[in-house]
Amino acid sequence: MSTFSPLTRRAILGHTAQGLGSVALASLLQPQLLRAASQGVLGRLPLPQKAKRVIWLTMAGGPSQLELFDYKPKLAEMDGKPMPESFTKGQQLAQLQGQKLVCKGPMFSFQKYGRCQMELSELLPHIGSAADDICLVRSMTTEAINHDPAHMFMNTGAQIAGRPSMGAWVTYGLGSEADDLPGFVVMMSTGKGRNPQPIAARQWSSGFLPSKFQGVQLRSLGDPVLYLTSPNGVTRERQGRDFAAINSLNKQHAALCDDPEIATRIAHYEMAFQMQASVPELMDISGEGAKTLELYGCQPGDGSFASNCLLARRLAERGTRFIQLYHRDWDHHSLLREELPLRAKEVDRACAALIKDLKQRGMFDDTLIVFSGEFGRTPMAQGNKGPVGRDHHNKAMSMWLAGAGVQRGVTFGSTDDLGYAAQENITTVHDLHATMLHQLGIQHDAFSFKFQGLDARLSGVEGAKVIKKILA
């Protein structure tokens, strides 16, 4: 450490008492490094980095695996019959707790897709067309059973607020390759359906990590990034003059009091000025060409999931490390037969398009795509309001991963005959976190941050395991 002035180190600490480890400081040592703000704390990675970036497609509300991914003929036979008590006794249920439990057979048919003959719903023909590129996991489980805690668990590995989201962990560890865009970006879309569950901003919080790793929401309405647009009447030139004056005055002040925080602020004003140009450029997909828009099935400015998938690709190209898309309104306690096909239609084509597009650009091999909800749904019917649906469920859910060293055309794990509980190759959310970190080149059990006296880890303390069997 002797070659560098400790004052500079303090600058980077920014007087935060719970500072970063000393490597974390390194990236920020020089103003030019600051500008890029691209280095993570990990430096040289302990594992080969298969995935350079993550695109996480979060189907918020909990899509029904029994209609989309996990076909259960036995459940079809049992349709309308009482759920055998041997399955459900003493188990945690949400709205069905204490109610009469009746089996509900799959409401849509399944077919085999691709060379790998992956069994998927009739509702997902496009994802089916990419079956040979994805790895379907049918044996995922989670600990939470209500939306808010379940999202928290999926994103942060804990059900208590205040923990960093995975995107924050990853940008903290790896930094970002985007100079003038945030390293962790979140986008939202909502199904044209009913009444979607809320999503809290804590889902992309940096928790106890430094705030710069917080996810930045790119919005389809209003300013794409909050406060991005200059005030009315202030042209870029006028804005630029102010930026220059601010930085000039800050530099003059820095010369007097030698507070390294000032250098950091100067760098961030420069980045903000660049973002004012780069973000609108990013968001403008009108130049993508009709063919690409057709591939995804979107129109510029429609705020759809498909648009967001296309934006995700553009972000990936520009070096953003972690991109998370939420599509809301999968919470089908009722009207599942009516609503699920609409949601499936909203995402099916765009998911496949994203895979195809990344492939044709040579980015599929180093992009990790994850498609999941926050929990699964019960094989038991729920019919509390209107036609039948399914309740929240944490014993079994399905999800898929693709790209970046994940096996292709593989179905992994299974559930019991009625789809109630994962049975073979049971995996947990922490296993998923461990696996994702592993693909990013990070050893999950050595990647920690001191918080409240503990080495806090995304993958928890219970011994999460990398799901090696799904890795190529």
Partner 1 sequence: MTKSTSLLLLSALGLHAAEPPVPAKIEFNRDVRPILSDNCFYCHGNDPKHREADLRLDIREEALSAKAFIPGKGAESELVSRILTTDEDDLMPPPDSHKKLTPQQKEILKKWIDQGAAYQQHWAYEKPVRAAVPAGKNGVDVLVQKRLAEVGLKPSPQADPRTLIRRLYLDLIGLPPKPEEVAAFERDHSPAAYAKIVDGLLKNPHFGERMAIGWLDVVRFADTIGYHSDNPHNVWPYRDYVIRAFNSNKRFDRFTIEQIAGDLLPDASQETRVASAFNRLLLTTEEGGAQAKDYEQRMLTDRVRAVGNAWLGQTTGCSQCHDHKFDPWTQRDFYSLGAFFADIKEPILGRREPGMLVLDEAGQKKQADIAQRLAALQADFAKARPELAAGQTAWEKQALEAVNSSSLWQPLKQVTAASAKKNVAIKADKEGVVRGTIDAKRNERKQNDGTDTYTLTAKLPAGTTGIRIEALKEKLRGIGLASNGNFVLSEIALSSGGKKQSGKITVSHASATYEQKTFPASASIDGIKDQKNNGWGVLGGTGADQALYLELAEPLAEANTSVTFTLTFGWGDNHEMANLRLSTTSAPKPIRAPGTALPSAEIAAILKTAPEKRTAAQKGQLASAYKQIAPELRELRSKIATVEKEKADFENSAPKCIVSVSDTNKRTVRILPRGNWMDESGEVVKASLPGYLPKPKIEGRDLNRLDLAQWLVSKDNPLTARTVMNRLWKQFFGIGLSKVLDDLGAQGEPPVNPALLDWLACEFMDSGWDIQHMIRIIVDSATYQQVSTSTKELTAADPYNRECARQSPFRLDAELVRDNALTISGLLVPKIGGPSVKPYQPAKYWENLNFPTREWQNDSGEGLYRRGLYTWWQRTFLQPSLLAFDAPSREECVAERNRSNIPQQALVLLNDPTYVEAARTFAARVLSECTGDIAQRITWAFEQVLQRKPSAEELKTLTSLYDKQFADYQKDVASAEALLKTGAAAVPAALNKSELAAWTHVTRVLLNLHETITRS
295-324: which residues touch partner 1 (CB under 8 A)? none
| Of 422, 335, 393, the residue nearest 101 (C-alpha) | 393
Site for partner 1 (CB under 8 A): how many residues? 109
Q: Does 196 bind partner 1 (CB under 8 A)?
A: yes
468 binds partner 1 (CB under 8 A): no
277 binds partner 1 (CB under 8 A): no
Looking only at residues 87 through 106 of this chain, which bind partner 1 when binding is defined by CB under 8 A? 90, 92, 94-95, 97
Tokens of 172: 């903290």
- Asked if residue 472 binds partner 1 (CB under 8 A), the reply is no
Is 281 a binder of partner 1 (CB under 8 A)?
no
**Residue that has been written with the tokens 């044996």 in this structure:** 139
**Which residues in the 390-409 window bind partner 1 by CB under 8 A?**
391-392
Query: Residues 361, 366, 372, CA angle at the centre, nearest 5°?
Result: 100
Q: Which stretch binds partner 1 (CB under 8 A): 8-16, 102-110, 291-299, 313-321?
A: 8-16
Task: Pick the piece of the chain touching partner 1 (CB under 8 A) from 29-37, 102-110, 351-359, 422-430.
Answer: 29-37
Matching residue, tokens 């693909």 = 439
- Residue 346 contacts by C-beta under 8 Å, 6 or more apart in sequence? 189, 191, 192, 304, 305, 306, 327
Q: Whose Cβ is closer to partner 1: residue 268's or residue 337's?
A: 268
Out of 73, 160, 277, 386, which residue is the one contacting partner 1 (CB under 8 A)?
160
Instruction: Determine how β-strand 322-328 pairs with β-strand 427-428.
Output: unpaired
Site mask for partner 1 (CB under 8 A), range 424-443, x = bound: -------------------x
How far apart are CB 27 and partner 1 at their closest, in Å? 8
Residue nearer to partner 1 on the CB measure, 313 or 392: 392
Q: Does 335 bind partner 1 (CB under 8 A)?
A: no
Q: In sequence order, what E strands does 142-241 have?
A: 184-190, 216-217
Binding residue for partner 1, selected from 111, 269, 314, 335, defined by CB under 8 A: 269
Q: Does 265 bind partner 1 (CB under 8 A)?
A: yes
**DSSP bridge partners of 121:** 110
> Contacting partner 1 (CB under 8 A), which of 345, 445, 465, 471?
445
Binds partner 1 (CB under 8 A): choice among 99, 117, 248, 286: 248
DSSP string, 397-408: EEEEEESTTB-S
> Which residues from 102-141 bind partner 1, rule CB under 8 A?
none
Binding residue for partner 1, selected from 48, 85, 100, 233, defined by CB under 8 A: 233
Piece in contact with partner 1 (CB under 8 A), picked from 1-9, 285-293, 368-376, 401-409:
1-9
Q: Which is nearer to partner 1, 333 or 349 (CB)?
A: 333
| Distance from chain centroid for Cα 412 | 21
Can you say whether the dihedral through the CA atoms of 300, 305, 310, 311 is positive or negative?
Answer: positive
Residue where the block lists tokens 């940008």? 171
List the one residue from 49, 230, 278, 292 that touches partner 1 (CB under 8 A). 230
Q: Which of 222, 287, 290, 362 binds partner 1 (CB under 8 A)?
A: 222
Output 3 or 86, the one with its CB closest to partner 1.
3
Sequence-distant (6+) residues with CB within 8 A of 254 are 262, 263, 266
Q: Which is nearer to partner 1, 257 or 290 (CB)?
A: 257
For residue 203, give the nearest of 79, 374, 85, 390 by alpha carbon: 374
193 contacts 433 by C-beta, under 8 angstroms: no
CB-based contacts of 41, cutoff 8 Å, min separation 6: 20, 21, 23, 24, 27, 172, 173
Amino acid, res. 295: L
d(CA 409, CA 113) in angstroms, rounded, equals 10
